[in-house]
Structure 1
Amino acid sequence: MHPLRPRPLVPLLSRVAVLGVAAALLVGCSDDEAAQRAPGAPVSSQEAEVLSKVLVSDLEAGGADFEVHAPYAEGTVLTLTGEIDFARSIGRAQAVTTYGDGRPQETRTLFFSQDQLYQGDVPGLADALSGAGLPAATYVRRPVTATGASGTASLLDVLVQMVTRLSARSADDPRSFGQYTWRGTQQVDGELVSVFQGGTGATIAVGAESKLLVQYMTKLQDFDVTIDLSDHGAREIPLPADDDTVDLTAHPEIAEKLGL
């Protein structure tokens, strides 16, 4: 099994179901009120109203740096580190698979949009293209798969879709946050955040001052996935040029040869 194509996962659902719609916020309250509030307290109507607009705030910020941490097998972790342009739903990242059994790390360069995934640093690509009589290329491209023939998607596809869905062009219904609870405050990468938990068990943290999404954590099958966002702001991320990319949909023989 290729390290960047781990075992299939359940299909991605809607934005609300998969991402828990996202977010939490420290609302204005006195020190006495904060001290009396116990973890597990339900969100207030004011918090629900703010939560409904957090993904829109992410979009308005323009983009962010991100890190995704997915320990999908014993001793094996897939980490994506990069940046996302929320305005165009385009990202780039280094995907590193780290093993606990002594095998060397495997690294890929990724670019992605909502519907296309580009992979660079693919072992054997140059030889495969040469052997097929195709021009040299740095990247391979294929559609991002929400569900495959078996009704599931690979982990890599799930993760890049999760990142692109951390923004929205319209607010959610505040009533959809009625099942959320306040879990307390903490520091994430030196930033004070408030943490909330949704009915599915996913936790979301938003900066006390920035009012932007800082961390999202959820469970996929039997392992946790954590997405950290930082340095929010506008991004310009050009996708690889067509003449430096081989389309795996048009050349399935290359995909098969490379195990992609």
Structure 2
Amino acid sequence: MTGPAGAALDYAARGWPVLPLWWPEKGRCACEKPDCQHPGKHPLGKLAPAGRNSATTAPETIRRWWGRCPQASIGIVTGLESGLLVMDVDPRNGGHPNRLPGNLPITASVTTGGGGWHFYLAHPGNGFRFPKALPGCEGVDLKAAGGYVLAPPSLHISGQRYAWQIPHHSTPLAPCPEWLLELAKCPEHRPPSTIPAVDTGGLGSAYGRAALRGELTRLAQTIEGGRNNALNRAAYCLGRLVAAGHLDEECVVNLLLPVGANIGLGEREVRATVQSGLRAGLEGGHV
């Protein structure tokens, strides 16, 4: 496959989860909302109902998505899921690579449709949380936990396409420079929260119970900065399994609630997120 579909499959083969985004059309977002705040940059809801949490590396899903919407833009997830930290330098807001606090190593990079740059760096791993904006540097954002970036050959609202300046195939991802690591907010690992015994009362399949245990384990190890997204993703994935008959909905809710509380989220936030994620998963149909 060529075009956006081929590029999305290429990124997924690298282990970078992707999701389909709306695209610009006639100077406005194709979503046709007159008050769209992020034209050509937000998830395509009918294909990715859980937003960023719908991102995948599964080739069959990617082919289906871009088969239905060949012009969809591509979002690449940043953070631990992809192993990516992306520095977004936007000259429209005063950003420039020559005005950074330190030198950037040679690494895969993209020229953005807005005239800026995306520098792809290897995420240092669990235990590091980066600020969304680079302190002391105008026009420089950091995309990591909970984020995503538009990827080539996506179209920008300006009419320009994102393009590889240094292709990811030809240059390995550089590690984060020391000066950037020092900005990480929490340079220590969060101890795993308590995981409740997975007792489904005999309901559900062996596959469902194993998947449930895996989701609860991943959720319990989430560090600050991505907790709500992780809970929403877990609820969505488990909702898909409920829809397929592998798990019981009440059992899933009763197991997700305490883990959500253990990772530091408030009770109301946990309940609302679990309900929203499960509903999206149930409406998404069978796995």
Q: TM-score range by the shorter chain?
A: under 0.3
The one of the two structures with greater contact order (alpha-carbon pairs below 8 A, sep at least 6) is 1
State the TM-score, normalizing by the size of structure 1.
0.26
User: By percentage of residues, which structure has more strand?
Assistant: 1
User: By percentage of residues, which structure has more helix?
Assistant: 2
